[in-house]
Homo-oligomer: A and B are copies of this chain.
């Protein structure tokens, strides 16, 4: 084993706690880009441990993989990211988090008075305010009030 040939996928998996299959999947999604050794196996840089850790954290914050790829694209491509590079791209996460917290707080504060009242079925109710895109998954469009006629 030549010195510093990079990490094999299993090693990276053990370092991050992710499954091999998840790491390959992230590659398919453009989140990480290993090179191949002579035999065609994937090899990773040690900096990729941090990259995947960042992915995991961003997921906990509710970002989708395309969004995370977006954020990661803010890292320098030509060199190993520095701590400052990481904190820089984290600013965007911070902003998103702040917004989600605000939204949830607003929702919470409206909940008690709103559920029991007639507005529960009205588009004007603050709880229907569609600017909360914490909206998780499920595919097709699923319009959240707003055009709903009367009630």
Contacts and interface: CB of A to CB of B under 8 A. Distances in A.
Main secondary structure of the interface of A (DSSP, over half): helix
A70 interface: no
B97 A17 contact: no
Contact of A120 (B53, B142, B145, B147): B53
Given A14-B148, A15-B148, A142-B18, A107 B115 contact: no
A13 B17 CA distance: 44
A149 interface: yes
A94 interface: yes
A110 B100 CA distance: 16
Interface string A131-151: 010111100101111111111
A46 to B, nearest CB: 9
Contact of A137 (B98, B100, B137): B137
A134 B112 CA distance: 22
A16 interface: yes
A57 B115 contact: yes
Interface of A: 14-19, 22, 49-50, 53-54, 56-57, 60-62, 83-84, 86-87, 90, 93-94, 97-98, 100-101, 104-105, 107-108, 111-112, 115-117, 120-121, 123, 127-128, 132, 134-137, 140, 142-151
